Amino acid sequence: MADQARIISFYRTKALAHAVSAGALAHAVSAGALAHAVSAVVPAFNEEAGITSVLELLHRCPELVRITVVDDGSTDGTARRVLEYARREPRLRLLRLKPNRGKGSAMAAGAEASPSDLVLFLDADLIGVSPQQLRKLIEPVRRGSCSMSLAVFSGPGGPSDRSQAVLPGLSGQRNSARWSGQRNSARWSGQRNSARLSGQRCLRWSQFRETPGLAETRYGAEVALNRFARKQGLPVQLVQWPGVTHLSKYEKRGWLPGLFAYLRMYLEILLFPLRVVQAEQA
């Protein structure tokens, strides 16, 4: 936990150093309204192809007080695309991490740079999401019905979508109905014990800041958050997002590099719980 605290402290300082200006928030909210304000965080690694679409989506959500893209050591034009878009979106910030540190580190850095406690995490390669769907994800947390909400893709999808419903038991939850606090969640989610590895989630950062291993992990970030919620007894709600999908790693990287990327992702997801248990026992 000491290492976790040092990493979080480092990112808090680094995020503030990279922020262009705090003045753009002057139009947003008063201090008293920050309890219900929402900031968006988009971790991105080599997402030049899809990042603009996600920024367009967030641009259409006036309720967001800050939009932070965390460029996690990209080697393509991700940062350039974000900076270009920032010319017409004053809420947008670019936070650059070098070298690549992994998704969990990027999420922690973005959350620490956000002015609000309520944080919306989104992947940078989403397709087919509407502002209304974002609001449905935000609202349960904002009104206090749960501590974290997760978007669940429904309908046919590629490998990224199927990753939400594989590796049962390794997502950090044992029973989706009990874990989500919804008696009917098992029925409408379609799989009683399915793993929920969705990167699309809304939470109160103050409740999840101390998640063990989050700032050090890569693809295990969602598992870390799920596991922490279950251990702390924090209610989690699943929100259906019909018609939403991702750009697949095959589309972004090509067939063979995409295959290796998926294998690496699943391996890291599998190994993360073991690493956390070993750290807790040390």
- CA distances to 62, 131, 259 from 254, rounded to whole Å, are 36, 30, 8
Tell me whether residue 229 is exposed, middle or buried, using C-beta atoms within 10 angstroms of its C-beta: 0 to 12, 13 to 18, 19 or more: buried
pLDDT at 218: 74
pLDDT at 17: 37
Structural domain that includes position 218? 2-281
pLDDT at 23: 41
Q: Answer yes or no: are the C-beta atoms of 194 and 165 closer than 8 Å.
A: yes
pTM of the model as a whole: 0.75
pLDDT at 280: 63
The CATH code of the domain that includes 246 is 3.90.550.10
Which two tokens mark 257? Answer: 């590099």
Q: How many domains does the chain have?
A: 1
Distance from chain centroid for Cα 231: 20
Q: Indicate the helix (H) or strand (E) that contains 246.
A: strand 245-246
Q: CA torsion sign, 6 to 111 to 154 to 264?
A: negative
Q: What is the pLDDT along the chain (282 residues), one digit of tens a residue?
A: 444 444 444 444 344 334 333 444 444 445 556 678 999 999 999 999 889 999 999 999 999 999 999 999 999 999 999 999 999 999 999 999 999 999 999 999 999 999 999 999 999 999 999 999 999 999 999 999 999 999 998 755 544 444 444 444 444 444 443 444 443 333 333 333 333 678 899 999 999 999 988 888 877 889 899 999 999 999 999 999 999 886 655 566 666 765 766 577 667 767 766 666 566 666
- CA distances to 73, 215, 247, 250, 269 from 259, rounded to whole Å, are 21, 26, 14, 7, 16
Tell me whether residue 60 is exposed, middle or buried, using C-beta atoms within 10 angstroms of its C-beta: 0 to 12, 13 to 18, 19 or more: exposed
Alpha-carbon radius of gyration of the chain: 18
